[in-house]
Structure 1
Amino acid sequence: MFAVLTSYKLISMPSPTPYRVILESTGLAWLMLLTTNPAFAQIPKPTDAPKPLAPEQSAAAFKLPPGFRMEIVVSEPLIASPSGVCWDERGRMFVSELHGYNLAGQLDIEELNKTGKLDTQVRRVQADEKFKRAAKAGTFGVVKWLRDTNGDGRMDAADVWATNLPPIYGLVPARGGIIVACAPDIVFLADRDGDGKAETRDVLFTGFPTGELERGINAPQWGADGWIYFGRGWGGGIITGPHLAAPVELPGSDFRIRPDGSAIEPVTGATHTFGFAMTESGDRFTVTTTVPGIFIAPLPWYYLARNPDAATPSLEIATGDRRAYSISKPHPWRQKRADDPAYFKYYNSRYGAAESEATGWFTAACGPMVYQDRALPGLRGQYFVCEPAGNLIHRAVIEADGSALTIHRASGEEKSEFAASTDAWSHPMNLTHGPDGSIWITDYYREIIEDYSAIPRHLQQQYGVYAGHDRGRIYRLTHHDAPPVPAADMSGLDTQALARECASPLFWRRQTAQRLLVERGGNPLIPAFSPDGREGARRAVEGEVHGANVLQEAKKILRELLADKNAEPSAVIIALRTLDQLGALTPSDVRPFISHADAAVRIHALQLADHWFAKDEGRALLDATLTAAAAELSRCLPGSSASGSACAGWTPLSCLRCTGVAWKCSAPSCASRAAPRPSSRRSRKPSPRAGMNPNSPARSTSSPPPSRTRGPPCSMRSPGAARTRRASRSLTNPRGLPSRLSLRALSPESAPRRARWRTPSSRLWRTRNRWCRQASYRPSNKSAKGRSGNSSRLWRGRAT
């Protein structure tokens, strides 16, 4: 029996039955038991379906490099359908849960099974709308607080900290609470009364689109700049919030927010599925289901918005290797689909070998991370990405390729994976830095992880698509030589101790120390005084004075860290960024790091230096920057006479990895030079067709016009192996900066008619449409809803 209510409140979902939803409506309790219908017995249940393993067995099923081990931290019944994990400053572990995945498909086939007939028609079909509506009752999010009560390293108690939320796609600590991504909202949760429940629930932003459950806004992560970054999921929308001055219209790009909800803005690039990774320099990698790594051009959105004539970069596929070397036996439905000639032809003609073959390809890449700790030997700076459909975790080495970053398999793993499991129910889908420096792995443990629509319907009818929805595992990847770590609770550290923690070798401690210093800000101490009376006022003033002195001590410690010639680059970056967010950074703090030996430090320093370039106090800083840029260009052009300030003035936009900032220069000596031409080739995701080797070198389909001058090597994308490119027309904007599309042309004010956008090149049209989604942005007000004409559609990034 199915019950669809127009108004309900979800109370709980614990049940030994396949699924049970308790609803409360108009004072009455409704019980909806979606159990297996007797007619289901008419469809024979296959005997070859894989069986789940015990948690300890599942952890032991991973094949790892020597010295590494996988430990189970928590499993069902304490958690179910986990989607992410984080720790607050007290070291408390929180897990988000995402319930309802594939539920609509299960309801659909249970109704179909009442007929007793198998649907063998070759097609890909979604569940009926009535079952999608019914599934919403069982689609929700939960945050749990997990505890280790006996100190054995394994969680043995779980409290529901927050429930009745939309499905949660990730969480991050902030302001003494937790911020969760749960489309259509971003919500701040906090327990202010100490009862173990989050009674504070502040919707910071709302208006994000919803659709397929796995494509919501996702993977919130702190950046070193004090913003929280999100993957776009479905992307775009008019976003409102109680702390915003006006609604903001986002394009279809990733975005970032202020933790207090006071600001939201787009960032370059887009996460199409789940998760993205950030490097120490602030570069980002995203993924698609079949591409395990996409490098986002290192040109921040705010530079693009500030300079409408800037050349528009493109996303670069960081690797052409899309093979996944699973050691588990593929689920029988996958093998049967591959063995069926009709289905093989259907899927191969539409999706290529990745979908038509039983195994061997990335089909669900998600949850990437760049490991920035030192606890696990040999992994620092390496790139990891989950492939839940293949029951594995892939490792890659990051290398610079001119101004881009590429990834390739680690030595010794050319035909294997870093971590692969023989347990077909194990589906790693998210990776997180733990307080101890280990990698914590969220396992969406269940029989089938694939979207139900990808499975032939007659196989859905036999195997089902919802088994294991009440299960979930979280593992800790550690090493025999991992050093002991201090207690995770940092809430009791004073401000000076937090400043020293900015130099910690552990990523979580550095990040938490920075966050707490900034959150304490000008109030590093909370004076113990009564708010009433003269004595209370006197003690309040004394507390503020003492607090200011303590903050000065913290700033002094951070500057001592900057003065340490042996300081690690990660510590220097955190110290610079923390001083900046405390409002204490000066040009003299930044200047020594403009020419630092580490590229990540240079990039952060140059981005911070931009604050003062237009001010008198920044003149010396600007001179130092131009000198460093000239030296960098000289290194890019061996034997070149490029030196001095005249050359540095035309630092190309595509040399952002060298200079860190976008430049506009109107000096005659600069304008007269032929601007270095960025690559006019746009990356294309090649579908791995049958018989195609994705590791073979791809042809470059474009060559520079003879009348153009090639720029320095760092401004070019090399046409190396495993990279497929598409030719696109190169335009030159009025300033002489080469670009695919001038951002000025992306303004609806300057191009109110569609004819201005269209060109004979359909490839160029698609390029325009992509960058309208990724780079265009403007605040809007509620009356914008009534905008007419082409411009409103263009700002939404739609091809009209």
Structure 2
Amino acid sequence: MKKVLYPLLLLLISSVLFYCKTTRQPGTQPSAAEVEEALAPPDFSVSPVLSARESLRRMQVEEGFEVKLVASEPLVNTPVALTFDAQGRIWVVEMNGYMQDTLGAGEDIPNGKIVILDDTDHDGVADRRTVFLDSLVLPRAICLIENGLLVGEPTNLWYYEIVNDRPGKRVLVDPAYTEGGNVEHQPNGLLRALDNWIYNAKANKRYRKQGDRWLIERTHSRGQWGISQDDYGRLYYNNNSQNLLGDYFAPGFGATNRNQRGVAGYNEKVVGDNKVYPARPTPGVNRGYMKGTLDDSLRLRNFTAACGPLVYRGDLFPATYRSNVFVAEPSANLIKRNTLDENGYLVQGEQAYAGREFLASTDERFRPVSLYNGPDGALYVVDMYRGIIQHKTYLTPYLKEEIGRRNLTQPLSYGRIYKVVPKGKVPQAVTLPNAPTELVARLGHANGWVRDQAQQMLVDGKYPEAVPLLRQALKETENPLKVLHALWTLEGLSALRTDEVLALLQQPAWPLRMQALSALPSVLSAANHAQYTAALNQLLAQNDTLAAPYVAFLAYSLRSFDEKGADNLLQKLVAKYPNDRYVADAVISNLQDRESTFQNEVLASTPGSNQAFDRRLQQVITYIRNTLANRDPAVLTRAYPKGAAMFSSSCQMCHGADGNGVKALAPPLNKSEWVTGNKETLISVVLFGLTGPVEVGGHRYESPEINGDMPGIGYDKTLPNEDIAELLSFIRKSWQNNASPITKEEVATVRQKLAAREKAFTAEELKK
């Protein structure tokens, strides 16, 4: 038997070596060393820099799919984001200055670029590079609109006119686009959404171009890196430890009451399972030394760098993949697939696989950071391809050692763009001409990217001849996706009529009613508000429970024309849905600075202290009272300027500007015994971080309510004790805290005492 098996084994090894080693000649036998190499397990203690072709061979992708290379170095360098133009060219953001070494040296060097990649021979691989912009400092996001390009370059948001693929006139859209935070926690995305507004992750602003003016409005703060939309324009995002978060309602509603810290239906946990399944050991993660971070095979257990979520809306994948959400995890070198299930306006999902991933690589430098739908229906992957992806602000000594052990500082001038396609299918990009007739036809295309692009081209082109065609498209209800894009295209052209919105409000299909409700604020006026008020009252009378939260949100816009009618709607909603938290929060979003008045008017007629509306309104009123008791931030900033700046860049994004914590990220600092109590404990936490559950104000915070892992800043030995002391003094005096300040000598004493410490504390340790 052995005599039979050995030749077969040798033949198999020979075949493997022939396909993997291009130097072997057909018919020759492998050497003993080559046989041993083929049978040996991979050596994950080393991390070689691989060519794009070699890295491709390290990828394990779902059966029935393959990964194709679109571009690699030297054509592209340190890519972090991209977008496609109407010709199918790829505009890429290159963040060349990010983490050149473990000290983050050179971050202020203007070496970032925006480049255009073109496939001139139409073979699916880019072959021409055009530099559109250079000399940028850490650029992070772009968006094509009209005849120009939005560019996010901290702290500014710029608009550049495009003249023959060269930058023309530059306009400053927002000087505070990335105010506060650091490179890991600043706005990004610039997603031009279905409703014609531009949204970002890690931001509470949205943007819109109106003639030569730029409109900036307040919206919900969402996510950390990357943002996507589904076919109905609802937004999806995440933070580094959460697989997928998202909105149940249209993005333009509910952010109108500044006293309301959160609105039900926004920032909802869409997929709660945060487990990951790397294809290789992943010791090179920031908290790899902590119990529970890695499993017995040294593989990451849960997301630690979730980013770049993408709702797949292409027409190339099988139908079962439609509206699936893919999430990148660069720390674990993988891309996850999630499936979604809708129940009315609620959306919940789960991981598509147990114990495996859609795509995973054994190449440690494969760093997928952003995902996109393409003009050809493929799923595009932006691979930053580098060893260091953790910013210096949070870089632990453990990870620095891992970086040094495998020389992960290199490479610094690499980067790849891939696309995932089904095997046996040849992707074909759709041509998008400027003819209005053809663009309107493409509003019903099966590929979501094509529909979006056609809508944007029609809005940007301002074609009057398209309006009659769009009105006709509104009647094609057998193709709901075409109807909703026609609706929003008319809205973008300021041509949407009252009768058209009212007709869609009567449609039996919820997605069409939802879009009509979402577009209603754009067409509401003194001339038609009575018609809309009657229509909204009719939806309530018909017990349209799906429309109820939207009716509450819309009362805010209606109030400008009819205060009594708007308040009457709100009172009806509270009476009809007293225990619906989505309706309750939608009602409260109307009530800024009149919460107590409304409480007195309404609660008398809807008694019951256990009702959701009563409880949620009281929470807002309590928050208002606490805010009035807060200390003046301007005075504190003058007293502790360095501390205020450090809080803004390192703490605010997780603990909130008001110190009351951020959902799914961090607990409150305001009135926290950890802040106002023992000085040495607070200094220790800020220096080296805190991991695991923590009790604040009698409430136990743990993952997933919070991240469960607060990074320290003391690993940076160059950070002055004086600056740390100012930060802590600022926090101990802010909001309703009134503790004594901390001196630089006190910080120095604790630093010296903990000089050998290299890991975060637990609450139990500190209590001892």
Do the two structures share a fold, i.e. TM-score over 0.5?
yes
* CA distances 1:413-457 after superposition (whole Å, capped 9, x unpaired): 122212222222211110111111111110111234334513514
User: What is the aligned partner in structure 1 of residue 153 from structure 2?
Assistant: 182
Q: Kindly indicate whether residue 127 of structure 2 is the aligned counterpart of residue 152 of structure 1.
A: no
Aligned to 1:754: 630
Match of 1:323 among 275, 283, 294: 275
Structure 2 unaligned runs (5+)? 1-42, 560-564, 585-605, 634-654, 666-729, 738-768
Q: Which runs of 5+ in 1 are unaligned?
A: 1-45, 109-131, 236-252, 525-550, 637-647, 683-704, 716-728, 733-738, 758-762, 774-792
TM-score by length of 2: 0.66
Deviation at residue 680 of structure 1 after TM alignment: 10
Counterpart in the other structure of 1:420: 360
Change in CA separation of 1:626 and 1:74 when aligned onto 2, cut-off 3 Å: same
Q: C-alpha separation between the residues in 2 aligned to 1:475 and 1:451?
A: 24
Higher deviation after alignment, 441-450 or 425-434: 441-450
Could you say what secondary structure the match of 1:292 adopts?
strand
The within-5 A match list for 1:347-386 is 358-377=299-318, 378-386=320-328
Between the aligned partners of 2:735 and 2:158, the Cα distance in structure 1 is 29
Deviations along 1:669-722, one digit per CA (max 9) or x if unpaired, are: 83893752344999xxxxxxxxxxxxxxxxxxxxxx9935667xxx9xxxxxxx
Shift of 1:387: 0.6
Distance 1:365 1:415, change over 3 A: same
Corresponding residue number in structure 1 for 2:497: 586
**Cα separation, 1, equivalents of 2:151 and 2:607:** 53
Match of 1:226 in 2: 196
Mark the CA change 1:306 to 1:672 in structure 2 (over 3 Å): closer, same or farther. closer
The residue identity in structure 2 corresponding to 1:497 is: E
Taking a change above 3 Å as real, the CA distance of residues 417 and 669 of structure 1, as seen in their structure-2 partners, is closer
Structure 2 residue 443 is the aligned partner of structure 1 residue 502: yes
Seen in structure 2, the aligned counterparts of structure 1 residues 184 and 399 have a Cα distance that, compared at 3 Å, is same
Partner of 1:198: 167
In the other structure, the counterpart of 1:740 is: 619
Q: 1:676 to 1:190 in 2, by over 3 A?
A: same
Tell me, in whole angstroms, the C-alpha distance in 2 between the residues paired with 1:470 and 1:160.
16
Q: Give deviations 1:239-272, integer Å, cap 9, x for gaps.
A: xxxxxxxxxxxxxx25334376733435543234
1:61 is aligned to 58
Letter matched to residue 173 of structure 2: L
Distance 1:162 1:752 in 2: 47
Query: 1:501-530 deviations in whole A, cap 9, x for unaligned?
Result: 222222222222222222222xx4xxxxxx
**Counterpart amino acid of residue 514 in structure 1:** Q
Distance in 2 (alpha carbons) for counterparts of 1:187 and 1:159: 20
* Cα distance change, pair 72–678 in 1 and its aligned pair in 2 (3 A): same
Residue 470 (structure 1) aligned to one of 397, 413, 428:
413
Q: Shift of the alpha carbon at 1:405?
A: 2.4
Give the drift of 1:766.
Answer: 7.6
Aligned equivalents of 1:276 and 1:623: distance in 2?
A: 36
| Mapped contact 2:313–2:449 kept (Cα < 8 A) | no
CA distance in 1 between partners of 2:262 and 2:183 (Å): 36
Cα distance change of structure 1 residues 100 and 408 upon mapping to structure 2, 3 Å threshold: same
Q: Give the TM-score normalised by structure 1.
A: 0.63
- Relative to structure 1, is the Cα distance of residues 479 and 157 closer, same or farther in structure 2, using a 3 angstrom cutoff? same
Contact 1:362 1:387 in 2 (8 A): yes
Change in CA separation of 1:494 and 1:425 when aligned onto 2, cut-off 3 Å:
same
Matches within 5 A, 1:14-25: none
The secondary structure found in structure 1 opposite 2:534 is helix
- Alpha-carbon distance in 1 for matches of 2:657, 2:197: 33
Cα distance in 1 for residues equivalent to 2:148 and 2:121: 25
Contact 2:233–2:251 (CA<8 Å) still a contact in 1?
Answer: no
- Deviation of the 1:584 alpha carbon: 1.4
Change (3 A) 1:458 1:483: closer
2-structure distance, mates of 1:213, 1:170: 12
Report the count of equivalent residues: 576
Per-residue deviation, residues 467-518 of structure 1 (Å, max 9, x unmatched): 1221101011122465764554x3x422222222222222222222222222
Distance 1:498 1:173 in 2: 17
| 1:170 to partner: Cα distance | 2.2
Distance 1:604 1:329, change over 3 A: same
Using a 3 Å threshold, how does the CA distance of structure 1 residues 668 and 275 change in structure 2: closer, same or farther? closer
By how many angstroms is 1:176 displaced? 2.3
Q: Deviations over 1:67-119 (max 9, x none)?
A: 2221100001111100112122233221110112222x43x4xxxxxxxxxxx
Contact 1:680 1:730 in 2 (8 A): no
1:248-647 equivalences under 5 Å are 253-258=204-209, 262-296=213-247, 298=249, 303-305=254-256, 312-313=263-264, 315-331=267-283, 333=284, 338=288, 343-344=289-290, 358-377=299-318, 378-400=320-342, 404-410=346-352, 413-451=353-391, 453-456=395-398, 457-480=400-423, 482=425, 485=428, 487-488=430-431, 490=432, 492-521=433-462, 524=463, 551-552=464-465, 554-567=466-479, 569-611=480-522, 615-633=526-544
Q: Which secondary structure state, in structure 2, belongs to the residue aligned with residue 740 of structure 1?
A: helix
CA distance in 1, matches of 2:458, 2:570: 46
- Asked whether the equivalents of residues 629 and 735 of structure 2 are also in contact (C-alpha less than 8 Å), the reply is no
Are 2:369 and 2:384, in contact at CA under 8 Å, matched by a contact in 1? Answer: yes
% identical aligned pairs: 21
Distance 1:513 1:672 in 2: 41
CA distance 1:152–1:661, shift in 2 (3 Å)? farther
In the TM superposition, what is the alpha-carbon distance from 1:389 to its structure 2 partner?
A: 0.9
Matched position secondary structure for 1:513: helix
Distance 1:50 1:437 in 2: 33
Query: Bigger CA drift: 447-456 or 183-192?
Result: 447-456
Change (3 A) 1:80 1:281: same
- Matching residue of 2:78: 81
- 1:159-195 alpha-carbon deviations (Å, 9 max, x no partner): 2221011212122211223222221111223441x3x
In structure 2, distance between residues paired with 1:63 and 1:289: 23
Q: Name the SS for the 1:666 alignment partner.
A: helix
Shift of 1:221: 0.9
Q: Contact 1:602/1:660 (CA < 8 Å) preserved in 2?
A: no
The Cα shift of 1:368 comes to 0.6
Letter matched to residue 466 of structure 1: T
Question: Aligned equivalents of 1:137 and 1:88: distance in 2?
Answer: 30
* Cα distance in 2 between the residues matched to 1:706 and 1:632: 22
Distance 1:397 1:592 in 2: 33
Distance 2:210 2:166 in 1: 21
State how far apart, in whole Å, the 1-side matches of 2:112 and 2:632 are: 45
Measure the CA separation in 1 of the matches of 2:78 and 2:360.
20
3-state SS of paired residue (1:344): coil
Deviations 1:210-263 (A, max 9, x none): 55323232111111121111223xx5xxxxxxxxxxxxxxxxx25334376733
Distance in 2 of aligned mates of 1:307 and 1:273: 21
